[in-house]
Amino acid sequence: MSTATDDRATRDPDTSGGGASSLSRAFAHPLADYYLLLTCSGLLLALGVIMVLSSSSAYAAANMNDSYYFFTRQVAFLIAGVLACGWLARRSEDFFKLFGWVVLIGSMAAQLLVLLTPLGTPPSGISSKGNRNWLYLGPLSMQPAEFAKLGLIVWAAAILATRGTTIREPKRLFVPYLVGFGVVLGMVLAGGDLGTAVIIVAIMIAMLWFVGAPGWTLAGIIGVAGLGALGMVVTSANRMARVKAFLSGSGASSEQPLHSIYALATGGWWGVGLGRSRMKWGGLYDGVLNDYVFAVLGEEMGLIGTLTLIVLFLVFGIAGVRIALRSKGTFWRLAAAGITAWFLVQACANIAVAMKLLPVMGVPLPFISYGGSSLLANLMGVGVLLAAARNEPDAKVALNTQRPPAAEPVRVTSVVDRKGR
C-alpha cells in the first residue's frame, strides 16, 4: 500500500534534488550564460566605480585639487563603454571579422605614434616608470595596448577559424597568426611595457590551446617568451630594481608592495569601512589607482570583500567558458575563449601583485582599476562575449520566441455611410 509521501515522490522526482536540481535547470536555460555574464559584469562595474571613488579621493585632492577628479572621468568612460557594449552585443560575425582588423590596425598605428614621438617631447614622448605607452590627444589620453589586446583576440579568432586541422602545420600557424602577435608584442616591448606583453602572450597561448594546437608549439612559445622576459628584466635597471625589491623586501622599490600587504592585513574579516583606508593617504600613493586597488578594497571591505570580488571573476570566467563551449561557430568559440582568458589572466596578475606574489607588472584590474582605455576596452570585450552568447544555437531560438509578432496592418474591407449603404 503506497503512502502519500511515495505518491509525491513519484509525481515530482526533481524535488529530491533540492537546490542542486534548481541550479541545474537554471544553467540549462538557453539564455543562462547571457544573463549570468550581464549580472557579473554589472556587479564588477558597480564595485569598480565605488572603489575608484574611494581609493582615488586622497590622491586626487592632493594632486588635482578635486577629490572627485578621477571618479567623474571614470563615470564618463563607463557611460561611453556601456553604450559601446550594448551596441556591439547585437552585431554579427561578419561585422566582428572586420571589426578585429580595424581595432588592431588602429591600435598599432596609435602605438607607433607613441614610439615615433621623440623621447623627452611632452607628453607622448615622456617615459613613465620606464614605459612609453600613452598617446595624448589634447585633454584626452589613451593606452593603445589596451585596445590592441581586444583587436588581437577578435582578429586571431577570425584567422584561426579558417585554419581548421591545418593549425598543426607550422607554416599555416606561423603566417599570419604568430606574425601578427609578434609585431604587436614588439611594439609594446619597444615602449617598455613588459606587463602588457606578458598578458598578450598568455592570450596567444590560451587561444592556441583552445583551438587544439600541438603541445610542441605551446611549449616552444612558452620557452621563447620566458627567455625574452628574462632578457627584458636583466637589461632594464627599473625592472631589476622591482625584482630585487620583490625578492629582498627592502629598499624604496618595495614600499608600495609592503604597504599593500599592510592594507590587506588591516582589513581583517570585514574591513575598516568604505572611504576609511589609511594606506591610500601615502603608503600606496598613486598605486591606489591601478596596481594596488585590490589592496585598498581589502583594507576597506576586508576578506569578505576580496573574496566577493574573486568569486565574481570566477563566475564571469565560468560564463565565458560556457559560452565558448556552447557556441556552434569556430569564430565565436575562439573569440569567447580569448576574451575570457584575457580578463582572468589579467585579474590574477593584478591580484597576485597586490598580495606580493609577483613583482609589479603594471597591469590594471579589469573593471576595477582607474583608466578610461582599460574600461572602454573591457566593456567592448564584454560586448563581444554577449554577442557570442546571443549567437548560441539555443539562445537564438529563445530570443526569436521572445520577440512579439509583427502587427498586421489594418485592412478596410468596406465603407458604410450614414444611411447604412
Q: Model confidence over 227-247: pLDDT tens digits?
A: 988 888 888 877 887 787 777
pLDDT score at 5: 47
Q: Which secondary structure element, helix H or strand E, spans residue 32, and what is its range?
A: helix 32-64
Predicted confidence band of residue 1 (pLDDT cuts 50, 70, 90): very low
Mean pLDDT (the chain) is 84
Q: Please state, in angstroms and rounded to a whole number, the distance separating the CA atoms of residues 34 and 85.
A: 13
Q: Model confidence over 30-53: pLDDT tens digits?
A: 788 899 999 999 999 999 999 999
In this prediction, residues 318-336 reach a mean pLDDT of 93
Which has the closest alpha carbon to 364: 26, 55, 12, 8?
A: 55
pLDDT score at 387: 95
What crossing angle do the helices spanning 372-390 and 144-161 adopt, rounded to 10°? 20
Predicted confidence band of residue 321 (pLDDT cuts 50, 70, 90): very high
Q: Please state, in angstroms and rounded to a whole number, the distance separating the CA atoms of residues 415 and 333.
A: 58
Asked whether residue 89 is domain-assigned, the answer is yes
Asked if residue 90 lies in contact with residue 101, where contact means CB atoms within 8 angstroms, the answer is no
Q: Which residue has the higher pLDDT, 361 or 155?
A: 155
Asked whether residue 187 is domain-assigned, the answer is yes
pLDDT score at 12: 47
Asked whether residue 272 is domain-assigned, the answer is yes
In this prediction the pTM is 0.87
Geometric angle at alpha carbon 340, from 339 and 345, rounded to 5°: 100
Q: Model confidence over 210-221: pLDDT tens digits?
A: 888 888 888 988
Predicted confidence band of residue 249 (pLDDT cuts 50, 70, 90): low
pLDDT score at 37: 95
Say how far residue 126 (Cα) sits from the centre of its chain: 27
Q: Model confidence over 108-147: pLDDT tens digits?
A: 999 998 888 776 566 655 556 667 788 887 777 889 999 9
pLDDT score at 351: 96
For the residues of 247-305, what is the DSSP string, one character each?
Answer: HH--SGGGHHHHHHHHHHHHHTTT-S-TT--SGGGTTSGGGGTTTTHHHHHHHHHHHHH
Kindly state the cell numbers that stand for 419.
444611411
Q: Out of 157-166, 168-177, 293-302, 336-345, which region has the weakest mean confidence (pLDDT)? A: 168-177
pLDDT score at 251: 56
Strand, helix or coil at 169?
Answer: coil
* Residue 178 DSSP symbol: I
Asked if residue 275 lies in contact with residue 269, where contact means CB atoms within 8 angstroms, the answer is no
Asked if residue 270 lies in contact with residue 239, where contact means CB atoms within 8 angstroms, the answer is no
Q: Which residue has the higher pLDDT, 417 or 193?
A: 193
Q: Which residue has the higher pLDDT, 266 or 412?
A: 266
Asked if residue 295 lies in contact with residue 255, where contact means CB atoms within 8 angstroms, the answer is no
Asked whether residue 404 is domain-assigned, the answer is no
pLDDT score at 8: 44
As for how many domains the chain has, the answer is 1
Q: Which residue has the higher pLDDT, 272 or 421?
A: 272
Asked whether residue 389 is domain-assigned, the answer is yes
In this prediction, residues 338-358 reach a mean pLDDT of 95
Asked whether residue 24 is domain-assigned, the answer is no
Torsion of CA 11, 15, 16, 18, to 10 degrees: 180
Kindly state the cell numbers that stand for 208.
592556441
In this prediction, residues 152-166 reach a mean pLDDT of 85
Asked whether residue 102 is domain-assigned, the answer is yes
Residue 127 is part of which domain span?
A: 30-399
**Beta strands 135-137 and 140-142, pairing class:** antiparallel
Annotate 183-216 with b (16+ C-beta within 10 A) or e (fewer): ebbebbbebbbbbbbbbbbbbbbbbbebbebeee
Q: Please state, in angstroms and rounded to a whole number, the distance separating the CA atoms of residues 230 and 225.
A: 9
Predicted confidence band of residue 191 (pLDDT cuts 50, 70, 90): confident
Asked whether residue 391 is domain-assigned, the answer is yes
